[in-house]
Amino acid sequence: MRRLLLAVTALFGLVALAGAVGLPDLAGAQDALEPTDSLTVSGVGTVKSVPDEAQMSFGVETRGATAKAAVAANTDAMRRVVNALRQAGGREIATQWVSVYSISGETGSVTEYSASNSVSATSDTGDAAALIDAATGAGANQVSGPGLTSSNSEELYRQALGKAVDEARLRAQVLARAAGRSLGEITSIVEGGASEPPIAYAERAALDSSTPIVPGTQDTSAMISVTFSLR
């Protein structure tokens, strides 16, 4: 009987020691595993603007009996075009591509060579027609564009981001109210990206000073995903 009392006493001692050291808080661990009560919605913000910049492409194609002759003629022509673009106020002038290829006749033999060169140039939308006139007057026989953009595109995108957050909050309020809840703080925002497609000119512009360049309006959009806590 004395041994049994000693064993029971030792058992109670171990239990007391375990309590002093600290057993795992199972209730706390269960709470930590519970999902956060939140609501995630998307928002899109759009800002309209009138493009103030036009990007055009100007090219020259020349032909010669040899590849060297075609390239030489093309080089002289492109120098005149580039100088004309600069004098007309063209900015950010840059070579886009250069190509040289042979042309074969009906018998399959090479009859001549073609050399092509194209450059891009940017101007204010109001000066685009003058740029076309200057380039074609200097010998450009390939014209495409314009792609119309806004010079303050970063500022427009930031405005669109603000509108996207406002739109997301309105959507979240509707959903929370329908569920009998109210919105808490924003816990996360994920930026989805921007959308600002350049406006392409529908047809190749007529090569004279009467060429109309109508910028119209352009949409700059931002997309986000916002998570709110719920009350």
pLDDT-derived band of residue 26, with 50, 70 and 90 as boundaries? very low
Q: pLDDT (tens digit, 9 = 90+) per residue, 109-143?
A: 999 999 999 999 999 988 898 999 999 999 999 99
State the pLDDT at residue 108.
87
pLDDT-derived band of residue 29, with 50, 70 and 90 as boundaries? very low
Give the 3-state secondary structure of residue 114: strand
State mean pLDDT over 50-76. Answer: 94
Where do the domains of the chain lie, and which CATH numbers do they carry? 38-50+152-230 (3.30.110.170), 53-149 (3.30.70.2970)
- Closest by CA to 120, choosing from 60, 58, 200, 77, is 58
What length does the chain have?
231
State the pLDDT at residue 19.
47
Are the CB atoms for 146 and 18 separated by under 8 Å?
Answer: no
Whether residue 12 is predicted with pLDDT greater than 80 in this model: the reply is no
